[in-house]
Amino acid sequence: MYIMQTEDLDLYYGAVQALKKVNLNVEKNSVTALIGPSGCGKSTFLRTLNRMNDLIDSVKIQGKVLFENKDVYSEYDVIDLRKRIGMVFQAPNPFPMSIYNNVAYGPRIHGIKDKNKLNEIVEKSLKGAAIWDEVKDRLNKNALGLSGGQQQRLCIARTLAVEPDVLLMDEPTSALDPISTLKIEELMDILKKKYTIIIVTHNMQQAGRISDYTAFFLNGEVVENDKTENIFYKPKDKRTEDYITGRFG
């Protein structure tokens, strides 16, 4: 079952076309990896899915982005959309406040004031991001005191706190050490049972390890989109094969 689809999606930054006729279906409760060389449109595409590109004045979008068969640009309020389609960025970006308040921030904005309910959400979200045991005794300490890997898992907990359906991850491990990267990868395998994950990654091995489906982007187009094992071992397009085998990119 598809939870998100794009139909003939074009995106322009002013006169420059960054995405060209992108048609992509995203399966529910799966991990979809977006791979391709730098500047090929992966992160731009990711940001169209929860309307992050709305924040850029020169952007023009044509075609459709569907979430649960409804157009995200005409049938969703942008605040509601971003609650249901959360985002984790490349560099960990915790708020300069306590660990507890980082996680409680979203639920409070959405009107939850009850302290017991907030406590429950904070614990559940930190457990969901596999960081509870590391921070449960210092919830009132500043989040900026955490290591990079812990900060990124805290940002994942913050996203989970508003109970999204989809998690967008823009190279979430590129700034992390190998041990922290492994923890985030293991976490994704657990999270996909409850959420749908779409991840941009430059790391081909990571895409092979963690994703169920892979889409290969090149010059703003999707060259090929298939189950990950097919993309890596039986690509249909010569350009996919060249990229996977390291001939360019």
Q: Which residues pair with 198 in a beta bridge?
A: 32, 168
Arithmetic mean of pLDDT, 216-234 = 97
Per-residue pLDDT, 196: 98
Could you report the per-residue pLDDT of 167-205, keeping only the tens digit for each? 999 999 998 999 999 999 999 999 999 999 999 998 999
Per-residue pLDDT, 192: 94
Could you report the per-residue pLDDT of 66-119, keeping only the tens digit for each? 999 999 999 999 999 999 999 999 999 999 999 999 999 999 999 999 999 999
Mean pLDDT of the chain, nearest integer: 95
Cα 21-205-166 angle, rounded to 5 deg:
50
Could you report the per-residue pLDDT of 22-46, keeping only the tens digit for each? 999 999 999 999 999 999 999 999 9
Q: Write out the chain in H/E/C secondary structure.
A: CEEEEEEEEEEEECCEEEEEEEEEEEECCCEEEEECCCCCCHHHHHHHHCCHHHHCCCEEEEEEEEECCEECCCCCCHHHHHHHEEEECCCCCCCCCEHHHHHHHHHHHCCCCCHHHHHHHHHHHHHHCCCHHHHCCCCCCEHHHCCHHHHHHHHHHHHHCCCCCEEEEECCCCCCCHHHHHHHHHHHHHHCCCCEEEEECCCHHHHHHHCCEEEEEECCEEEEEEEHHHHHHCCCCHHHHHHHCCCCC
Per-residue pLDDT, 89: 93
Asked if the model's pLDDT at residue 61 lies above 80, the reply is yes
Share of the chain above pLDDT 70, in %: 100
Arithmetic mean of pLDDT, 220-232 = 97
Arithmetic mean of pLDDT, 145-154 = 96
CA–CA dist 216, 239 (Å, integer): 9
Q: How confident is the model at residue 249 (pLDDT cuts 50, 70, 90)?
A: low
Share of the chain above pLDDT 90, in %: 95
